[in-house]
Chains A and B, each alone.
Chain A
Amino acid sequence: MNAKKLTLGGMGAAVFATLFTAVPVAAQENYMFLPSLVYRTGAYAPNGVPFANGYADYIALVNARGGVNGIKIKLTECETGYKTDVGVECYEKLKNEGPAGATVFNPLSTGITYQLIEKTWVDKVPVHSMGYGRTAAADGRVFKWTFNFPTSYWSQASAVIKYIGAQEGGMDKLKGKKITHVYHNSAYGKEANPTLKILAKKFGFKLNLLPVDHPGQEQKATWLQVRRIKPDWIFMSGWGVMNQVAIKEAAAINFPMEKFIGNWWSSTESDVVPAGDSAIGYKGTAFHGAGANWPVFDAIKKEVYGAGKGAGPIEGVGEVLYNRGLINTVYTTEAMRTAMAKFGNKALSGEEVRWGLENLNLTAARLDELGLGGFANPIKISCRDHETNGPVRIQQWDGKKWVVVSDWITPMADVVRPMIEKAAMAYAKEKKVPVRKCDGTD
């Protein structure tokens, strides 16, 4: 080792280090930082792209109108490819960006959510896994930093069974019926299974669980089993390419489409369009509207796309997953507004936005004001309940668009909530997490 080699090495190390260092923010600006973990590449990109576009466009609209109470939001995308380790890398990179750190993370992946849940306790950033992730996180007493409203996989499964019961002419008619759950063989797909098992016992229907391995391009074996079982109804928890293949396979065995119900991640345009006419009649659940028939979409087309700031093609505005990205940011920005009522109009930290999420009260009147009347259900979050057992609607594909065919179906909170609390308490015990009293002191 000598001076020259040391200098050279030092310089090399410095160059190397800058490659891994996030670019510092120029000057102390007053804005809130919102990270967006997207997957515009990889096997799940057809689903990830519209969601990311809706997410970005609504924030662009809010910014075009001056931000949340005058504070603008800076959105930075980080590409995860739906891979958990890359998601963690994104999280680590983005959690401290912006003047007050990241406000809230929406990973759009159950796998990444599982990774982040415990990290966020230490970093004091909330995770809002909207309708995905760990269902037990609905118990805010244990999962202080995690939210999964407006509804969860367990609530959804009970609502679907309720819908099937209604179609059969009463819950007592479910006895002896055969219901099959076709699911993505991952943490995500398995989430609904415990609820379905309990409901099967309760209502006396016969439940078959058929896993499909990632990514789900090959499902012949699964559908051979379906043919053998001859189920009365099929419920599916799929994601990405798995959905369209399943719909094609179901059509190939002449399964009646109106008795085939996908969960909210399995009822999007990219699932049914590739299956063509055979997908007509296929049903799915949703916790928000489909299509672009609300004033907010006109505003986005005019103020965001009109100004050339749209994140995707304008035809994509109003797709199911686009709308889901949009409602996600509506919840986020309304939570920020709620938090500002307490902490003042400033760049909020993750901790403050967490308070906003927990005290969010999105009324029907406020939804109307946002140009989203009837688009989603009003919602009120509390310290105990980070999920609210929100209702879902059933929508059906008519070959051109998704049509809502049911009223809001309220999940069986009497079945689901005790399960959630039991799972959360077991988790708290295993991980030695303090349980909050929820009396306003913690």
Chain B
Amino acid sequence: MFYREAGQFKTGYAADQAIFPILQDRLFVIAVLAFAFVVVPLTANDYWFQAILTPFLVYALTALGLNILTGYAGQISLGTGGFMAVGAYSFYKLTTGFPEMNLIVAFLIAGCFSAAVGVVFGLPSLRIKGFYLAVATLAAQFFLVWLFNKVGWFYNYNPSGTIDAPPREMFGVLVTGAAAKPAVKYLAALSMLTVFALLTKNLVRSAVGRSWMAIRDMDIAAEIIGIRPLRTKLLAFAISSFVVGIAGAELFALHLGSVETIAFDVTLSFNILFMIIIGGLGSVMGSIMGAAFLVLMPIALTNLLVGGFGMQATSAKHLEFMVLGALIIFFLIVEPHGLARLWQIAKDKLRLWPFPH
């Protein structure tokens, strides 16, 4: 009744190509963004910023990056943790080596390093596919983590092998380091997620995105119609690793503040993969929803069980594992295409509501 595009006419190409062609969608997204950029920083407390919102935004960006590779270009990767580590350690080396460097530049260069490494480990994708490619990227995961643990230069030879985010300013405001305000870190993560979500959305609607999807759906057919697999696949690896690398730098500089390589181990790669599978492969919205599900759900469950029902922290943790597992299976059975598809169905139903036909 209220969600219906009747009467909204597209009178030009621009209107036809808009990301959100329906007025209600546009308003909704603007409202969400306004809420996230204005209301949240004014109302949320430290716990919300540091324990819930910032990690959610960081993981959403990571999932977005992996979704480019796995969801749109169809290349399974288990090297996400490794590529995040490249971003984090490059960011550390850049900010400690060049203290005056602008943070945006540092994030972008860190992403470029990660993209370069991603291209190198993406080379096998030209010959191998599916599960075999997953194993090849798994090699990247183990090799990169081992490298950052082994070579002292990456952590400036400090005895513990842990890297700490140095305090760095931007526009006169401290953004990284422990003294930075949680709200500032949140806004930094939010801005980056917004920018990259918009860029990704536009990218996948362009010729590049279409060639990725062609490769994903049938690579031989794609090659026959003139898409070059080498360029397309490596571009997917590069752009995906670029975004993942920036997310890794965020995880280090904005969320954790100090990391050792164990933070980037293979469980992280699996978690990110689960995020996009649950959220929805090949969907920007799905990446964000998947990250929300996997980051927020465990915390919500713990707080509900311990805070709400007064349960012991340990029993709550055990129960949390079970409930989370059950929820994942439930969602995958109800909607194998992920939360994004559920969202789509809900919108379709809303269009007809309250009339069933």
Residues of A within 8 A of B (CB): 1-2, 5, 16, 19-23, 38, 40-41, 76-79, 81, 84-85, 88-89, 92-93, 95-96, 110-111, 114-115, 117-119, 121-122, 134-135, 185-188, 190-191, 193-194, 211, 214, 423, 430-432
Known: A22-B307, A111-B260. 12 other contacts (CB 8 A): A19-B303, A23-B307, A78-B313, A79-B313, A79-B314, A85-B256, A111-B162, A115-B257, A134-B160, A185-B149, A187-B161, A211-B149
Q: Please measure, in the bound complex, the distance between the C-alpha atom of A188 and the C-alpha atom of B96, giving whole angstroms.
A: 23
Shortest distance between the CB of A37 and any CB in chain B (Å):
10
Which residues in A have their C-beta under 8 angstroms from that of B46? 92, 95-96
Chain-A contact segment, one of B23-31, B120-128, B209-217: B23-31
Residues of A within 8 A of B265 (CB): 214
Contact A121 to B27, CB < 8 A, known contacts A22-B303, A22-B307, A186-B260? no
In the complex, which residues 109-161 of chain B have their Cβ closer than 8 Å to any Cβ of chain A? Answer: 149, 159-161
Distance in Å: Cβ of B295 to nearest Cβ of chain A: 10
Q: List 15 A-B contacts (CB under 8 A).
A: A1-B24, A1-B27, A1-B28, A2-B2, A20-B48, A38-B314, A40-B314, A85-B55, A89-B299, A96-B47, A114-B258, A134-B160, A190-B161, A194-B159, A423-B159
CB contacts under 8 Å to A, within B7-55, are 24, 27-28, 31, 46-48, 50-52, 55
Task: Assess whether A115 is in contact with B51, with CB atoms less than 8 Å apart.
Answer: no
Is the CB of B195 closer than 8 A to any CB of chain A?
A: no
Q: Which residues in A have their C-beta under 8 angstroms from that of B300?
A: 16, 19-20
- Cβ distance B75 to chain A, nearest Cβ, rounded Å: 27
Interface size on B, residues (CB 8 A): 47
Interface of A is mostly: helix
A118 and B313 within 8 A (CB): no
Q: Which of B162, B179, B308 contacts A23 (CB 8 A)?
A: B308
Q: Check B312 for interface membership: any CB of A closer than 8 A.
A: yes
Distance in angstroms between the alpha carbons of A260 and B239 in the assembled complex: 50
Residue of A nearest to B146 (CB): A213
Q: Which residues of B contact A194 (CB under 8 A)?
A: 159
Q: Which residues of B contact A (CB under 8 A)?
A: 2, 24, 27-28, 31, 46-48, 50-52, 55, 96, 149, 159-162, 164, 166-167, 177-179, 255-260, 262-263, 265, 296, 299-300, 302-304, 307-308, 312-314, 316-318
Q: Knowing A23-B307, A115-B257 touch, does A77 contact B312 (C-beta < 8 A)?
A: yes
Q: Is the CB of A92 within 8 A of B314?
A: no
Residue of B nearest to A197 (CB): B159
Give the shortest distance, in Å, between B95 (CB) and chain A (any CB). Answer: 11
- In the bound assembly, the distance between CA atoms of A193 and B155 in angstroms comes to 15
For the complex of A and B, list the 7 residue pairs with the smallest distance between their C-beta atoms, beginning with the closest. Answer: A118-B178, A40-B314, A187-B160, A89-B51, A92-B51, A19-B300, A77-B313
How far is B161's CA from A6's CA once the two chains are assembled, in angstroms?
50
The interface residues of chain A lying within 8 Å CB-to-CB of B256 are: 84-85, 88, 115
Tell me the smallest distance from the CB of B261 to a CB of chain A, in Å: 8
Residue of A nearest to B255 (CB): A85
